[in-house]
Amino acid sequence: MVGLDLRRLRFLREFEERGTLGAVATALGYSPSAVSQQLTVLEKEVGTPLLERAGRGVRLTDAGRLLAQHARILLAAAEAATSDLAALGGDVRGTVRAGGVQSAARHLLVPSLARMAAEHPLVRMEVSELELEQALPGLRTGSVDLVISDEYDGHPRPRPPGMRFAQLLSERLLVVLPADHPLAAPGGPVALADLRDTVWVSSDETTGHHAMIVGNCRTLGGYEPDVRHHSNDADVQLAVVRHAAAVALLPLLNLPPVDATLAYRPVAETDLGRRLFTVTREGPRSPALTAFLQVVTDQADGLRDTRLRGGEQR
């Protein structure tokens, strides 16, 4: 058996994580046929079949699963060696691939790019809007380095093994009403129970945001909310509130500081909140990722001291 090629081992590791050639191709930027060819070459190198037919697709053989486990160790060791060499060189360089939910991308990741360019010009930054569930396979295999995700009170996120979670900031959730809504006039807290007959807008039904709205309306309000509208874009949700007389329940970070067409009110039954946190792989970090984490943390501290202080009503 010839020496193992780390690049081909990454294809195998990605396949173990994602389960289909098409998903591997999408993650790594290759065609499915190119992925298949690389895995075929790897099979020839190790001298044993790594994939076998399963219906219309393929799956790992016992040998494939065994080699994928070793690939995880070898790729982690290569990543650690790269990090150690980068630290020894003194210059902060390399690539950081980061993603986050929309509000995190807008208010934390994107604003951090300018400072990274100024302080660490040798670092290549790549930023995407990503949900944690989308990003986990890439985090595990190394194609994503950092994700900023969220979780709502009463709806904790799972903590998969091999991942490191660190809270960045917490913020209040506010009921968002059209400015002319009857419950907007007093300016005080709004009871979810009083919104029983109201149309709601939320994020997609698969998201934690949607589960949070439905769960709180059930437990605090005693009813099943009429969630007619869905968008993962907070600006679209706010437009639905303005134009369709719907209500939303959004974190303060998603809300424009001043908007005469909207009213923001705290929930009367309890103080609801959301937390943003970073997710990275366990193990050594490259100097580039360490630097970017510091910039993002500083950006979060600035938001906490200004935009999020008090969660004032409007």
Using the 3D structure, point to which of 29, 64, 87 is the last residue of a domain. 87
- The verdict on residue 106 lying in a domain is yes
**Domain end among 69, 87, 105:** 87
pLDDT value at position 242? 96
Looking at the structure, tell me whether residues 255 and 117 fall in a common domain: yes
Q: Which of 87, 113, 141 is the last residue of a domain?
A: 87
Tokens of 15: 């396949």
pTM of the entire structure?
0.74
Q: What pLDDT shows up at residue 1?
A: 52
Q: Which domain holds residue 48?
A: 6-87
Q: Is residue 261 domain-shared with residue 243, that is, in the same domain? A: yes
pLDDT for 204: 92
Q: From CA 93, how far away is CA 73, in angstroms rounded?
A: 24
- Residues 281 and 301 reside in one and the same domain: yes
| CATH code of the domain in which 74 resides | 1.10.10.10
CA triple 12-124-39, angle to 5 deg: 15
- For residue 1, being part of any structural domain is answered with no
Indicate if 72 and 100 belong to the same structural domain: no
Determine the pLDDT at residue 90: 65
Total domains in the fold of the chain: 2
Indicate if 111 and 80 belong to the same structural domain.
Answer: no
- Could you tell me if 132 and 178 lie in one domain? yes
pLDDT at 83: 62
Q: Are residues 261 and 314 in the same domain?
A: yes
| Same domain? 124 vs 62 | no
Evaluate whether residue 38 is within a structural domain. Answer: yes
The reply to whether 276 and 256 lie within a common domain is: yes
Q: What CATH number did the domain enclosing 267 receive?
A: 3.40.190.290
* Tens digit of each residue's pLDDT, the chain (314 residues): 556 788 888 888 888 888 888 888 877 778 888 888 888 888 888 888 888 888 888 889 999 889 888 888 887 777 667 666 666 666 788 899 999 999 999 999 999 999 999 999 999 999 999 888 888 888 887 889 999 999 999 888 888 888 999 999 999 999 999 999 999 887 789 999 999 999 999 999 988 899 999 999 999 999 999 999 999 999 999 999 999 999 999 999 999 988 999 999 999 999 999 999 999 998 888 899 999 999 999 999 999 877 776 544 44
Please check whether residues 82 and 102 belong to one and the same domain.
no
Tell me if 304 is assigned to some domain.
yes
Q: Is there a domain that residue 124 lies in? A: yes
99, 82: one domain? no
Residues 304, 215, single domain; the answer is yes
